[in-house]
């Protein structure tokens, strides 16, 4: 495992980001009891139990995840106006969504669809609950990616990010799913996020422009050890660095910051 040395001038930023990432776990952990008599399931070795009335507690530094197994009606607020229908699958992958906050009987979850950072309320009874200890931070200013486990940095690497014309979108997103690479240059897999380009609406006639984390696509030399602006908004990693992200399950938070 790579030893991480954070510059003193960056310490405040990362302390703030860790605190921000911990908000989800704090918000979700105070409303229920993990032994509350409902079913249980697991992600990354973590078992979460709960029932339809109360959200469960999660381990410190983890994020509560809601997996949707059928089309689910969402709401603008609990017991309020109906919102969008959340699909059971998105681009063929099961919808596993991070929980932003919770209250008895209800979960506020992030959505994968446009616009970026969309959220909606769903009933706890409509989801299977798991948790993830992993979070990804992408710092555009330093052109580095940081992998957290239980709020501790366990890996860091230089990245290729979007150019000034097609920048990598900042904000709070999540891992939507892992996909097979369409070509060797993408590395061993493609980590597809819930982020969408702010400047491209239809990439190569796909109907959307998703921000993904993948291999270097021939830009290894440009990425080097310091990172570079080389993409149309996706995040490029050296293939050996990308391999460290395979353990991150769908639903895990991704935060992209500009400074």
Our count of domains for the chain comes to 2
Please check whether residues 41 and 20 belong to one and the same domain.
yes
Please check whether residues 142 and 114 belong to one and the same domain.
no
Please check whether residues 167 and 99 belong to one and the same domain.
no
Give the DSSP letter of residue 188.
S
Please check whether residues 220 and 200 belong to one and the same domain.
yes
Model confidence at 200, pLDDT cuts 50, 70, 90, reads low
Average pLDDT of the chain is 81
For 120-145, the pLDDT digits (tens) are 999 999 999 999 999 999 999 999 99
Model confidence at 114, pLDDT cuts 50, 70, 90, reads confident
Spell out a b/e string for 190-225, using b for 16 or more CB atoms within 10 Å of the CB, else e.
Answer: bbbbbbbbbebeebeeeeebbbbbbbbbebeeebee
Please check whether residues 75 and 150 belong to one and the same domain.
no
By residue range, what is the domain housing residue 55? 9-132
For 34-63, the pLDDT digits (tens) are 223 333 333 343 434 445 566 678 888 999
Helices marked H in the chain: 11-29, 220-223, 239-242
pTM of the model: 0.81
């Amino acid at each position: 495992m790579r030893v991480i040395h954070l510059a003193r001038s960056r310490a405040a930023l990362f302390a703030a980001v860790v605190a921000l990432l911990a908000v989800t776990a704090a918000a979700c952990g105070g409303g229920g009891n993990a032994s509350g008599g409902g079913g249980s399931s697991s992600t990354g070795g973590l078992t979460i139990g709960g029932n339809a009335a109360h959200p469960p507690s999660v381990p410190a530094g983890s994020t509560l995840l809601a997996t949707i197994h059928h089309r689910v009606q969402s709401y603008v607020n609990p017991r309020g106006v109906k919102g969008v229908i959340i699909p059971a699958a998105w681009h063929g992958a099961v919808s596993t969504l991070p929980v932003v906050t919770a209250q008895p009987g209800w979960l506020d979850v992030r959505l994968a669809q446009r616009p970026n950072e969309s959220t909606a309320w769903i009933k706890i009874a409509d989801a299977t609950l798991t948790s993830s200890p992993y979070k990804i931070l992408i710092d555009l200013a330093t052109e580095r990616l940081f992998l957290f486990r239980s709020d501790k940095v366990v890996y860091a690497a230089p990245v290729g990010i979007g150019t000034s014309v097609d920048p990598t979108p900042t904000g709070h997103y999540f891992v939507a799913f892992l996909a097979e690479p369409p070509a060797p240059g993408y590395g061993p897999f493609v980590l597809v996020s819930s982020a969408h380009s702010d400047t491209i609406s239809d990439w190569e006639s796909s109907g959307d422009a998703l921000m993904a984390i993948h291999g270097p696509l021939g830009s290894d030399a440009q990425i080097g050890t310091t990172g570079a602006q080389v993409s149309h908004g996706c995040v490029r990693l050296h293939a050996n660095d990308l391999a460290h992200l395979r353990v991150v399950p769908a639903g895990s938070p991704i935060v992209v910051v500009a400074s």
